[in-house]
Amino acid sequence: MQAQLAYRLFDDADGIYNYCPSPVLMDETTMYIFYCANAWPSLVIDDIYARRGKLENGRWTFGDRFRVLQPDRLGWDCIHVCDPDVIKGKFRYRGETYSWMMVYLGCDIHHCYHNQVGIAFAKEIDGPYIKYDRNPIVRYDELFHWGAGQASVVSLDGKGKFRMLYSQTVHEYERRLQGCRTFWRDFDLSDAERPIVGEEVAMHVGGMDNRDGEGEVAAFNPTIVWDRNNDLYYLTREGTPFDKTRSPDFIAPYTQVSVISRSDFEKNEGGWQTVYNVDGKDTGYERNHNAGLVKDAYGWLARQGVLPVATTISELTDRDFLWTYRIYYQELALPTL
Amino acid sequence: MSRIYVLQSPRMAVAAARMKADVNFLGAVDDQTANWLSDNHVFLRDSWAQGGVTVKRLQRLYHRLFPGDLLIVDGSLPDELMMKAALYARELGARVVIGLKGAGISSESNDAKDVGDLADILVHAPNAMWNGDPRAIVSLEAADNLEAWVGAMSLCLMNGLGLEQSWSFCKRAAASEELPWYDEVAYG
């Protein structure tokens, strides 16, 4: 596997964090990147921002950020909105046709509780985004669990049908266990007034292995891209297990890229192969997490043989690590399978 | 990130909740006020529709507060209740923020309040009077909305900001006559 060294896509002011990128390639030299950041320095309230980038002399350079979604004053997403993903399609809603759809995580409590997944529509990629009145589209009832979120979507038909992967808490009360795992389901919002929501599937992780070959494999915080020519799904997940001996201890040391045929994915009996582990050798940092696969407008692989990845890095510090969250970019040369 | 408890000041609680702070309320309120609090995303932890806050009812704080939490108290409460609440907070490792209006505005009397020694942070209107020695003092100007300032400061403190770092955010919030919302302050 060949991988170029990662580089930082853009910087930001002190007290502002950048993470959870959703990069959308519009053409060979234009990219929008949606991501999570705070508005007021050092105050942790997540909004969703975007930047428009141009490819110049082989490197992406981005313009100023602009806010595309913010928490409501009240309601299910009144504290944070984050973890965006954006695809193109054709969605009829309230008598209008929208060409872009964003999925996002919203929550109404601090301390990483009660996350749920919402949807917003726009006519242009840079907005304005209108929140769907049937949100949250993926609900989670337990108030003091992490919940459901970190959704990633891929268009199934270039119109209103899409597949959504997302993290969701699983718990076993007798052993007091809680953890996140990946689930998925299909939607048809061609007519968003009459949404068709498929049955939820717990994603099988068979074939995945950890970077060091040790510990339980857990797949969560998925992002997906569909290589339609080869009918393959590429997936990123948080690299497990986390290093609990250093601060911060709750974010991944590496991001793992895996691949599976679409048919094996849909059979849901495993068949994953590890493609690459994005870690310190790529970015220079020991925490590499909350990644986003770069994809075309529909969530499909944009260029055969090349898989660009945007990864969030953070520095290891006893405190204030959050303010070091920045987004790095690299291109992986895909193997012939 | 710490949690916020507000004792007996619905307006301070709502001001903090509108700033997206994590606000838990204890106090004696009628149904209409309780609904107003809930509608503004304040979590009613212990509330009493009958009677007022008493020393005995304040014992609820004893199992609520944890180290690093913030207890926000309306300076118009009787000294005895403020003292009891502050002692619990100190014992449990929480910090006490007292919002004190000027005499004759919300206080029950024009006497100086014996709150100074209880407060980790005293936020006060220009003509407020108190006895004792607060650990930190935030002196507002006449035009500043005290409840809005305390509400904005709640979000800042729960994010670990110091008073100096918090000042510009709080000042902007306090410019509003009504209790402002986070978006009006952060994006304004």
- pLDDT tens for each residue of A302-336: 999 999 999 999 988 778 889 999 999 999 999 87
The span from the CA of A109 to the CA of A3, in Å, is: 40
Report the DSSP pairing between strands A287-293 and A306-314: antiparallel
Cα end-to-end distance, chain A, whole Å: 12
The pLDDT value given to residue B76:
87
Q: Which residue has the tokens 């929480």?
A: B94
pTM: 0.95
Count of structural domains, chain B: 1
Mutation for testing the B interface, residue in A14, A66, A110 having most B CBs under 10 Å: A110
Supply the range of the domain harboring residue B16. 4-186
- The residues of chain B scoring below 50 in pLDDT are 104-109
Backbone angles phi, psi at B139, to 5 degrees: -100, 120
State both tokens at A264.
Answer: 């094996």
Element (DSSP H or E) covering residue B89: helix B79-92
pLDDT class for A246, splitting at 50, 70, 90?
Answer: confident
CB contact under 8 A, B41 and A70: no
- pLDDT of A249 reads 86
Residue A322 touches partner B, C-beta closer than 8 Å: no
Integer Cα distance of A102 and A107 in angstroms: 16
Per CB-CB distance under 8 Å, the chain A contacts of B186 are 39-40, 43, 45
pLDDT reported for residue A2: 75
CA distance A164 to A16: 29
**Mean of the per-residue pLDDT values of chain A:** 96
SS3 B116: helix
ipTM: 0.94
Query: Rounded to 5 degrees, what are φ and ψ at A76?
Result: -65, -25
Q: What is the CATH number of the domain that holds B144?
A: 3.40.1190.20
The per-residue pLDDT for B105 is 40
A4: pLDDT strictly greater than 70? yes
CA separation for the pair B13, B155 (Å, rounded) = 11
Q: Hey, which residues 35-94 in chain B have their CB within 8 Å of chain A? A: 39-41
Cβ contact A60:A54 at 8 Å: yes
Counting every residue, how long is chain B?
Answer: 188
B122 vs A142: CA distance, rounded Å = 37
Across A75-98, average pLDDT: 98
- DSSP string for residues in B4-62: EEEES-HHHHHHHHHTT--EEEEEE--HHHHHHHHHTT-EEEEEESSS---HHHHGGGG
Residue A82 pLDDT more than 50?
A: yes
What's the pLDDT at A280?
Answer: 95
Return phi, psi of residue B32, to 5°.
-65, -45
Please, are residues B27 and B7 in contact by the beta-carbon 8 Å criterion? yes
Residue type, A239: G
pLDDT at A245 > cutoff 80: yes
Q: Domain of A41: which CATH number? A: 2.115.10.20
A–B: how many Cβ contacts below 8 A? 43
Check: CB of residue B70 under 8 Å from CB of residue B51. no
Is A145 within 8 Å of A116 (Cβ atoms)?
A: no
Q: How confident is the model at residue A241 (pLDDT cuts 50, 70, 90)?
A: very high
CA–CA dist A236, B40 (Å, integer): 38
Query: Which of B1, B39, B186 minimises the CB distance to A40?
Result: B186
Q: Nearest chain B Cα to A75, which residue?
A: B41
Q: Which of A57-71, A241-255, B15-29, B154-168 has the lowest mean pLDDT?
A: A241-255
Q: Tell me what pLDDT residue A335 has.
A: 80
Reduce the DSSP state of residue A289 to 3 states and report it. strand
Cα-based distances in Å from A102 to A152, A329, A331, B115, B171? 9, 22, 24, 51, 35
CB A142 within 8 A of CB A115: no
For B20-37, the pLDDT digits (tens) are 999 999 999 999 999 999
Q: In this prediction, what percent of chain B has a pLDDT beyond 90?
A: 82
Per the CB < 8 A criterion, the answer to whether A258 and A276 are in contact is no
Cβ contact B67:B47 at 8 Å: no
The residue segments making up the domain with residue A81 are 2-12+20-333
Find residue B138's DSSP bridge partners. Answer: B123
Structure tokens at A60: 């992406």
List pLDDT tens digits, range A115-135.
999 999 999 999 999 999 999
When scoring B1, B3, B20, B70 by the number of chain A Cβ atoms within 10 A, the one with the most, hence best to mutate, is B20
Determine the average pLDDT of the residues in A251-264.
96
CB A9 within 8 A of CB A329: yes
- Pick from A17, A72, A73, A79 the residue to mutate for testing the B interface (most B CBs within 10 Å): A73
Q: Which of A3-12, A170-179, A220-229, B122-131 has the lowest mean pLDDT?
A: A170-179
Instruction: Using CB atoms within 10 Å of the CB of residue A201, give its burial: 0 to 12 exposed, 13 to 18 middle, 19+ buried.
Output: middle
**Per the CB < 8 Å rule, is A111 touching B169?**
no
Whether residue A193 has pLDDT greater than 90: yes
